[in-house]
Amino acid sequence: MIKDKIKEWYDVDDYSYDTVIKSNNILSEKFKELENLEFVNQLKVLKAFQDNKLQATDFASTTGYGYGDVGRDKCEAIFRDIFKAEDCLVRPSIASGTHALSLLMKGVLLPGNKLLYITGLPYDTLQEVIGIEGNSPCNLKEYGIDFDYVDLVDNNIDLESVESKIDSSVKMIAIQRSTGYSLRNAINIEQIEKAAKFIKDKFPEIIIMVDNCYGEFTEYKEPIEVGCDVIAGSLIKNPGGGIALSGGYIAGKKSIIDRVANTLTAPGIGKEVGITFGTTRNTLQGLFMAPKITIEAMKSALLFSHVFKKLGFKTIPDVEDKRSDIICAIILKNEERVVEFCRSIQESSVVDSHVVPYPWDMPGYDDKVIMASGSFIDGSSIEISADGPLREPYVAYFQGSLSYNQALLACMKVVKNLKNKNLI
């Protein structure tokens, strides 16, 4: 019956249906492992809600300065406990993950300090923040903050080279957990723990920051639990569960969060002001759903990885690799395949499924980028989406899906459309 309905409603041919369902069936044991992870993380989140005694009155919105906004404070306490941090800043006014990371860097780093990335160059938008690319006002370079980086070696942090790069000016070491538009696996918690121990044993005063975007709830532990000082991320990715309207978070040591809060508002005011514009309920409901939604996205990425590997394409991570984010990169080798892939994902979206995406000059990127994102929350990457810069080797980055069933259909449509255009 399922096959008949898919063929009737979406005109999916037998080849596309059978190809995807075969992969789905083969992956059943891996899906069970992910569902065990979901169960543990769901209980962890539930316990944080209960320990902080969340109640209906906490959803009431405030006005003006926001002094005494109990819901805002309780929301930040819940995030704090989930991430095992000393303190946390969670605000709808943090517009993106890049904004959260920019706030964090500017809150901690002073003129003459150096920021050292140990997972290679950060992704394009952060290069603008740092001042590696472009000449945007207020970048770190303009403030006299230096930058250096260490490339990964065989997808591992090169700790020997990291040590050789550290001098008295290095104030913060940064780890980018997800791939960005690179071709590598996400940095997993085991690798983060090894790096944190190595650095803290030799240089205990250096702050270790993790860009946690796309990585929340993909493993049993978060970076602070394995020795890192501070993490930052976006609420329209994993921790927002597809429900949070906007926002970002920064969690870590209280001394760091105090500085970041003063950067967000003003010295002497910090976290005590800033209303949430009635978003507390959405933010917390999204957080509660996040462990489940993250696993839906991980299962979806695993499905795409398996299907496209069987079709002869290289996928990163590989089907058998350990996963620590929700992204699946598929090397499609030419522009036409990337464009058709993204258009097929858009066709499968719940919002704007009739819209046809085209490559465009996206702010913060040097190459044209094509994006498929038919989402309830504009730009949400925990909802089913795909994108990629149109440059060699022509990679489509697939992520998200609030429902694995939607990803099943999307994968069938991608295979069908590529096949119909003789692209596979």
Tens of pLDDT, residue by residue over 364-414, are 677 899 999 999 999 999 999 999 999 999 999 999 999 999 999 999 999
Q: Are residues 225 and 308 in the same domain?
A: no
Q: What is the pLDDT of residues 236-259, one digit of tens each?
A: 999 999 999 999 999 999 999 999
Q: Is residue 320 part of a domain?
A: yes
Q: Given phi > 0 = left and psi -120 to 50 = alpha, else beta, which region is 155? A: left
What stretch of H or E contains 114? strand 114-117
- Count the domains in the chain: 2
The pLDDT assigned to 364 comes to 63
Average pLDDT, the chain: 96
| 26-47 average pLDDT score | 98
Together in a domain, 105 and 225: yes
In this structure, are 58 and 117 located in the same domain?
A: yes
The answer to whether the CB of 317 falls within 8 A of the CB of 376 is no
**Cα within 13 Å of Cα(227), Cβ side:** 19
Would you say residue 47 lies in a domain? no
Give the residue among 236, 253, 232, 254 at the shortest CA–CA distance from 245: 236
- The predicted model gives 107-115 an average pLDDT of 98
Pair (12, 107) in one structural domain? no
Average pLDDT, integer, range 13-34 = 97
Same domain, 165 and 282: yes
Task: Point out the domain boundary residue: 270, 287, 304.
Answer: 287
CB atoms < 10 A from the CB of 53, how many?
9
Tell whether 249 is covered by a domain.
yes
Tell me, what's the pLDDT at 249? 99
Highest mean pLDDT among 2-11, 176-185, 341-350: 341-350
In order of 17, 140, 213, the CA distances from 171 in angstroms are 53, 13, 22
Task: Enter the tokens of residue 89.
Answer: 């800043």
For residue 48, being part of any structural domain is answered with: no
**Which of 287, 317, 332 corresponds to the end of one domain?**
287
Give me 327's structure tokens.
Answer: 């992204």
| Tokens encoding 371 | 């994006």
99-108 pLDDT, tens digit per residue, is 999 999 999 9
Please give the Cα distance from 44 to 252 (Å, whole number): 18
d(C-alpha 401, C-alpha 301), whole Å: 9
Segment (H or E) for 370? strand 369-372
Range of the domain at 11: 2-42+291-420
Q: How far apart are CA 338 and CA 398, in angstroms?
A: 11
On whether both 65 and 13 belong to a single domain, the answer is: no
pLDDT category, 206, cuts 50, 70, 90?
very high
Measure the CA–CA gap between 338 and 79, rounded to whole angstroms. 37
In a domain, 224, yes or no: yes
Q: Is residue 234 part of a domain?
A: yes
Residues in CB range of 209: below 8 A, 6 or more apart: 104, 105, 108, 172, 173, 174, 175, 228, 229, 230, 231, 232, 252
Separation of alpha carbons 346 and 155, rounded Å: 31
How far is it, in rounded angstroms, from Cα 257 to Cα 414?
A: 44
Does the pLDDT of residue 220 top 90, yes or no? yes
Q: How far apart are the C-alpha atoms of 163 and 320, rounded to whole Å? A: 31
- Out of 254, 287, 320, a domain closes at 287
CA 111 vs CA 8, 34, 114, 130, 218: distances in Å? 63, 44, 8, 13, 36
Provide the pLDDT confidence category of residue 337 given band limits of 50, 70 and 90. very high
192 & 323 share domain: no
**Prediction pTM value:** 0.95
Confidence of residue 306 (pLDDT cuts 50, 70, 90): very high
Burial 281-312 (b: 16+ CB within 10 A, else e): bbbbebbbbbbbbbbbbbbbbbbbbbbbbeee
Cis bond upstream, residue 137 (ω within 30): no
Same domain, 270 and 298: no
pLDDT at residue 362 greater than cutoff 90: no
- Residue 84 maps to a domain: yes
- Continuous H helices in 311-401: 335-347
Residue type, 401: S
Say how far apart CA 69 and CA 54 lie, in whole Å.
Answer: 13
CA-to-CA dists, residue 46 to 38, 217, 287, 389, 424, angstroms: 12, 13, 10, 38, 45
Q: Which two tokens stand for residue 295?
A: 């696993």
* C-alpha span between 399 and 379 (Å, rounded): 12
Q: What is the CA radius of gyration of the chain?
A: 21
Q: What is the dihedral of CA 96, 98, 102, 103, to 10 degrees?
A: 20
Is residue 332 domain-shared with residue 185, that is, in the same domain?
no
412 and 315 share one domain? yes
| Rounded-to-integer distance, Cα 401 and Cα 103, Å | 29
The predicted structure's pLDDT at residue 137: 94
CATH of the domain at 326: 3.90.1150.60
pLDDT for 365 equals: 72
Report yes or no on 385 lying in a domain.
yes
For residue 355, what are its two tokens?
Answer: 């819209």
Distance in angstroms (rounded) separating the CA atoms of residues 327 and 334: 20
pLDDT for the residue numbered 354: 96
CATH, residue 79: 3.40.640.10
DSSP, residue by residue, 148-197:
EE---BTTB--HHHHHHH--TTEEEEEEE-S-TTSSSPPPPHHHHHHHHH
Residues 33 and 105 in one domain: no
Is 316 found in the same domain as 372?
A: yes
